[in-house]
Amino acid sequence: MNLAKCIVALGAAAAAFVLVPLDAEAQRGRPGGGGGAPVIEFFEGPNFTGRSIRLDGDAPDFRRMNFNDVPSSFRISRGYWEICFDINYRGRCQIFWQDAPQLTSGWNNQISSARPVDFRRGGREALMMFSEPNFGGEARLIMDNVSNFNSIQFNDRPRSLRVLSGEWIVCQHANFGGRCETLRNEASDLRRMGLDREISSASPTSQYNPPTPAPNPGFNPGPGSNLRPGSVFGGTRGAQSTYFANPRISGAPVARCMSNFNNSACDQVTADALCRGEGFRGAAYYTITDQGRSNHYFIGDARTGQSNGALADVLCVR
């Protein structure tokens, strides 16, 4: 298999990072090897030769296995692996998902610790992007807000996507301009979404900071609402409208009523307030989903509470 060369763009105190293959070698199949426990084997020599150690879990100190600064190649059977220069996952670290038959770029005889990365359990949001449909071609793995794909040499190149963890917003243009879509799973062929070779920025919804649209003259979110553009997540933007299949504010569905203490301002009133808060004239369409008395966000109260229904399918128009 081909060597997956990655670099990690890390700020000095950054908790999230971006991984970028340096070459154009094909990254075909399912990165990470699909289901099953993660497994990696390190070898003393290049091309998987010499002494070896096999890992299926955390290894914070290769000295305990008499293998510190020894590996010259490794083979990944399953999973994503964080591999580091120093013990206890310190120093230079990268995440790999493909075999490395010959370690280069300073990695040869430098590895001292390694551990599998479980994006879903580890709280890390991760999106894998591919240069060909059906998860083929060159791959990029991002774990942070990337406002311009030129910075990772992948502008207008994604043709399929796989969400490894979290919820992601992908947009046509840099700085989250143009049409945007929210993804929770995978898209094997972006032609079906009309975004083939058109994506230039992406962000986890938890970090999403959209550009503030110019409000209509006389913009007013309505009585009892303090919403401002960018408060509502989960929207798909058009030229003159935005559609929210399941709008969320502060991570919660939007309650059908403005206030938990007043049931007289509900449904259309709330849908209009949501749209006005996003800079639109109002809501041309909406539905109500009955999600039990779970926690929903009340626009008028600016807090969450129990509600017997939430807004859905909200179409905001100018």
The bridge status of strand 303-306 relative to strand 49-55 is: unpaired
Task: For residue 123, name the pLDDT band (cuts at 50, 70, 90).
Answer: low
* Phi and psi at residue 309, to the nearest 5°: 180, 155
Residue 87 vs residue 120, higher pLDDT: 87
Q: What percent of the chain has pLDDT over 70?
A: 81
CA-to-CA distance for 259 and 247, rounded, in angstroms?
A: 17
Per-domain residue ranges for the chain?
31-117, 143-207, 233-317
Rounded CA separation 171/178 (Å): 6
| 218 contacts: CB under 8 Å, gap ≥ 6 | none
The SS3 call for residue 87 is: helix
The residue-averaged pLDDT of 98-120 equals: 88
**Res. 173 pLDDT band, cuts 50 70 90:** confident
Average pLDDT, the chain: 80
Mean pLDDT of 281-300: 82
Domains 31-117 and 143-207 fall in the same CATH topology: yes
Question: Cβ(19)–Cβ(152) under 8 Å?
Answer: no
pLDDT band of residue 226 (cuts 50, 70, 90) is: low
* Per-residue pLDDT at 306 exceeds 70: yes
pLDDT of residue 238: 79
What the block records as the tokens of 64 is 């305990």
Distances (CA, A) of 257 to 262, 279, 304: 8, 20, 12
Least-confidence region, from 77-91, 145-159, 214-228? 214-228
Please name every residue paired with 282 in a beta bridge, in sequence order, or none if there are none. 317
- E strands, 97-143, are 113-117, 126-132, 136-142
Task: Indicate the fold that domain 143-207 takes in CATH.
Answer: Gamma-B Crystallin; domain 1 (2.60.20)
Q: Is the pLDDT confidence value at 4 over 50?
A: no
pLDDT at residue 149, rounded to an integer: 93
Superfamily covering domain 31-117: Crystallins (2.60.20.10)
pTM: 0.53
Rounded Cα distance, 313 and 244, in Å = 6
**22-43 average pLDDT score:** 59
For residues 300 and 259, the answer to whether their CB atoms sit within 8 Å is: yes
